[in-house]
Amino acid sequence: MFLRLLYQSFLRQRRRKLLAGVAIILGMTVATAMISVGVDVGDKMNRELRSYGANIVVYPQEDTLDVDVGGVNVKPASQGAYLQESDLVNIKHIFWAHNIVGYSPMLSVPVSIGGSADPVELIGTYFAKPIPLENETITTGVTKTHPWWKVEGEWPGDSGTSVLLGRRLAEKLKIQSGDLIYLGNHETKVVGVLSTGGAEDDGIVAPLALVQQLLKRPGVVRRVYVSALTKPEDDFARRDPRSMSPDMLERWSCSPYANSIAYQIQEALPNSHAEQIRRVAQNEGVLLSRISGLMLLVTFAALGAAVLAVSAAMATTIFERRREIGLMKSLGANNGAVITLFLSEAGLLALGGGVVGFLLGAALAQRIGLAVFSSRVEIQPVLFPVVLLLAVLVTFIGSIASIRRALTFDPAVVLRGDAT
């Protein structure tokens, strides 16, 4: 009899049940998509944000030394402090090596162009230099760490003597791509005009080896910019590793914070100091938290709308079935039987809507991932029971007020047709 009542309920009120089912499906679709993207958004946002440049800088340990005498800073000049280029490959040997997108060393020296009295800064770096590792060869340089650099012309080779001229300097000297210039006594060719929006627009960018040759300091660098995939900062990330216990230090090191990756780089490079570029790391954390908050807000809004739609559909259903409820009570059905009947109907709607909503939400999450991040979103298997639980909660919350009202019906009143 109970199963027959359930069947007749769905058969006679198809439109009402369809309305409630559609509301549940839409709510679960949005919830599935937002939760799936929200879980996966950390890594994808990190990869997307890495297109905006380096987030860690490494420089010689001597640059961190401050000497105060009588309140006056007499820090010695550290132009003679360098890092060894041969040590930089160790960056790809740290625990978080696979999180390192790329690195670019920097070395600068003032030079005169064609005997001009005004020197300009000549910056040496990697452009797209192949670096052999044990099992592979990687390509790294400013094309990885400074992707906003734009070149009109060609990029120089890392093993040649061609250079890039900054945009403002090129306009000032009226030099174009293809022109020959003299850097001191060395003739070189300008193969491109560089636009960065920074100080490089007033200088010259050349292969690192050329600058080392002009400086007469082979195999040295002054700065290294590192682009790494990191986890957004929290309070634990800002802890000083020197004050941590061994267990806490191990947990901190096994989290891909910018600080912990910088700490490992510092350990791998002799006489170096590595630190995060704080403005970049903080902005990443703020952006990621805002996006996650927006997704959470959309999820709650969708679930709230589903609750209201189910509540409206269930209220209409209860009103239309008031005579049936009165007849059940007059035949001896107690409140428990009435509650069981309507909760069973709600449960079946929830399960059906949850399954369909999960499938549609998974497809929507993939569309979002491909459209925004150009990659697929990984759907976690544990999300399926979570979505079903959400569907049941949404349906029961939307139904509870109407079911409580059904319990107050007086059989004698509703069977006479006096209830409104």
Residues 6+ apart with CB under 8 A from 129: 139, 140, 141, 158
pLDDT of residue 76: 47
Give strand pairing partners of 153. 192
Residue 323 in this model has a pLDDT that exceeds 60: yes
What's the whole-number mean pLDDT along residues 42-65?
70
pLDDT of residue 131: 93
Residue 262 tokens read as: 């910088």
What's the whole-number mean pLDDT along residues 170-192?
88
pTM: 0.61
How far is it between the farthest Cα atoms of the chain?
A: 110
What's the whole-number mean pLDDT along residues 393-415?
76
Strand locations in 196-271 (E):
204-207, 220-221, 223-228
Q: How sure is the predictor about 405, in pLDDT bands with cuts at 50, 70 and 90?
A: confident
Give burial (CB, 10 Å; 0-12/13-18/19+) of 218: exposed
Dist. CA 53–CA 154, nearest whole Å: 21
Q: Which residue has the tokens 């997307």?
A: 48
What's the whole-number mean pLDDT along residues 374-378?
77
What's the whole-number mean pLDDT along residues 297-325?
81
pLDDT of residue 234: 74
Q: How sure is the predictor about 75, in pLDDT bands with cuts at 50, 70 and 90?
A: very low
> Which tops the pLDDT comparison, 180 or 10?
180
Range in 255-264, 268-277, 337-346 with the lowest mean pLDDT: 337-346
Residue 339 in this model has a pLDDT that exceeds 80: no
Dist. CA 44–CA 5, nearest whole Å: 50
pLDDT of residue 6: 56
Best-predicted range by mean pLDDT (73-87, 192-206, 332-346):
192-206
Phi, psi (deg, nearest 5) at residue 348: -65, -40
pLDDT of residue 238: 78
Dist. CA 77–CA 63, nearest whole Å: 9
pLDDT of residue 317: 75
Residue 18 tokens read as: 């369809």
Q: How sure is the predictor about 83, in pLDDT bands with cuts at 50, 70 and 90?
A: very high
Residue 70 in this model has a pLDDT that exceeds 60: no
Dist. CA 327–CA 332, nearest whole Å: 9
User: Tens digit of pLDDT for each residue in 108-135?
Assistant: 999 888 766 688 999 999 999 999 988 8
Positive or negative CA dihedral for 411, 416, 418, 420? positive
Mean of pLDDT over the chain: 81
Q: How sure is the predictor about 266, in pLDDT bands with cuts at 50, 70 and 90?
A: very high
pLDDT of residue 89: 93
What's the whole-number mean pLDDT along residues 372-397?
85
Domain ranges of the chain: 2-48+285-416, 55-276
Residue 78 in this model has a pLDDT that exceeds 80: no
Range in 123-137, 252-266, 345-359, 403-417 with the lowest mean pLDDT: 403-417
> Which tops the pLDDT comparison, 387 or 17?
387
